[in-house]
Chain A
Amino acid sequence: MSRAGAAVREGRAARGALLGAVLLASLLVLVAPVAIVFIEAFGAGLSGFAATLAHPDTRAAIGLSIVTALLVVPVNTLFGIAAAWAIARFRFPGRRLLLATIEVPFSVSPIVAGIAYLFVYGGQGLLGPFLEAHELRIMFALPGIVLASMFVTAPYVVHQLIPLMEAQGSDEEEVAATLGAGGFAIFRRVTLPNIRWALLYGVVLCNARVLGEFGAVSIVSGNIRGQTNTLPLHIELLYHDYNTMGAFAAASVLALAGLLTLVAKWLLERSGARQG
């Protein structure tokens, strides 16, 4: 009895110490840096903050990041649903290989992706002479930025959907099929409602990742101020330029997007759990 009591007390002490350590670590590693972003951003008052955000280059950077997300997220969502459907519902040769391929961006550094795109679409690259002859601009313009962002965020939606779809199985869809529902009707009325929370969750993550992407985009953007600088690249530019406050003001926009992502994630997880 007393030995068990001691063990419980010891367990409690260990749990307390562990919890304290985790809290301290998150405070130092996560909370403090994000807090500093906002403190520094408003360091010169609201007017300095507003002046940075009102600057045409900052607005152009925010606009470009949003346009990129608007192009990349829907494509990767459709791709994610199609790929997850294929992988979770069917058995075919090369299925494992497809799954592994889709997950490559998780394990490859974004800068490698950027350089790889340069080697394919750049002036000295594989398709370079063809693209130049036809006046097609991919690198150092919006298409390059979108392609690089697409590569980096390709697995996010698939990754959320496959485990769920495999766990749910295809029973409900088969029932719908025997009742005479067509393919699209099955998808819209059975599959989609079943996966919607995981799907939204994947979309939110994908969106956050697109907005924050730095490495791959940095290689293919060309860094033209007001034109091909996304928000993360613009922040770097301001920072290098000894405009610390401006860099933090622009960074606070990204941090805010990150915080909104967290809230959205939390709400989706709650809704997902409630719906089962």
Chain B
Amino acid sequence: MNIIGDIFLVIGAVFIALGGLGLLRMPDVYNRIHAGTKAVTLGSLSVLLGIALLHPTWWPKLVVIAGFLLFTNPVAASIIARAAKISGIKPWRAEEQGGE
């Protein structure tokens, strides 16, 4: 059981690291939000699952935390994207930037 829990912790950490790499590589704010939201949500869930396997008595609290993450992460992402749109940031377009 401990091994499986550790594996989930590592998977979560890898996804969160990929999210960070996505933040560095993506060209504009909207694409960065993509990387930041999806990878970090699944990464956090995987970490929570790993913790749940390592400490079986924490299940109920971890489920509640997972629920909050699932509900609030995308809302926060949408709000940031909406603020970026309202403040007039144009989405990056593949055609215009061409060979850059």
Q: Do A and B bind each other?
A: no
Binding site for B on A (CB under 8 A): none
Question: Which residues of B does A touch, CB under 8 Å?
Answer: none
